[in-house]
Amino acid sequence: MPMPAPDFSWHFTPGNRFQEENGVAGTMSVTEAGELWLPTGRVVACDPFISLGHGEVEPFTAEVAPGRYRVECAVATLTRPDEEPSDTPHQRIAAARLVIEDTPPASWEIGLQAGQDLSELSEDEFFGYGVDAGTGCFYDASCDESFPECEGDEGPLWDAFDGEDAHLGPHTIVAPDTGHNLVAFSSGWGDGAYPTWVGRDASGGIVCFVTDFFVVPPEALA
């Protein structure tokens, strides 16, 4: 069986706390990231510094109605035992959520791209996107060519994350010529591979997409 989805409502409940075996404690909060415009309703999730503008990332097969939808990030503020309060706390984005409907999901499924087959996954495996620049994002598939100035180590995407207080995100980048936008955020502990889950209501309608960055330990959700 592929990896099961965790209870993401836990991630997005401010004040929830977890503790690692090494004593590091995490306290959850939620940061609003603004609205994402989906002109076609075909959602892409990827590392924008690596994949944006190359046309190589397939959208998820789960599509939604075109529109503007809220994006928010679950943020873990981490402290060590006996650590004094700081004006610059250690924070990591634990999960990013694209909200389609304000309805609790009744079921979860792994986000699939064309040609991916769940039967190919062994126990605790998942399909996800690779991160090599410590960043993830959501955008509409039709917007991929709208950000040529974001490719490489310059442009508005680079500028958004450049700065001591800006590395976490989330940041919304808008293409001035088209109005297309993307929402980008740091990816938990950094590089790796991360799954995006599709939440559905009791009637099968899509209510959200959530990318999990594996910051919250599984035992906190048990």
pLDDT tens over the chain, length 222 residues: 678 889 999 999 999 999 888 888 899 999 999 999 999 999 999 999 888 877 788 999 999 999 999 999 999 999 887 766 666 788 999 999 999 999 999 999 999 999 999 989 988 899 999 999 999 999 999 988 877 666 666 678 888 888 766 789 999 999 888 899 999 999 999 999 999 999 999 999 999 999 999 999 988 776
> Is the Cβ–Cβ distance between 178 and 120 less than 8 Å?
no
In a domain, 2, yes or no: no
In a domain, 204, yes or no: yes
In a domain, 1, yes or no: no
Convert 131-148 into a string of H (helix), E (strand) and C (coil). ECCCEEEEEEHHHHHHCH
Domain residues for 78?
A: 8-221
Compute the Cα dihedral for 19, 17, 74, 58 and give only its sign.
positive
What is residue 150's predicted lDDT score, i.e. its pLDDT? 66
In a domain, 164, yes or no: yes
What is residue 147's predicted lDDT score, i.e. its pLDDT? 78
What is residue 216's predicted lDDT score, i.e. its pLDDT? 94
In a domain, 98, yes or no: yes
In a domain, 3, yes or no: no
In a domain, 16, yes or no: yes
Burial class of 158 by CB neighbour count within 10 A (0 to 12, 13 to 18, 19+): middle
Overall number of domains in the chain: 1
In a domain, 114, yes or no: yes
What is residue 159's predicted lDDT score, i.e. its pLDDT? 86
What is residue 75's predicted lDDT score, i.e. its pLDDT? 97
For the entire predicted model, the pTM comes to 0.93
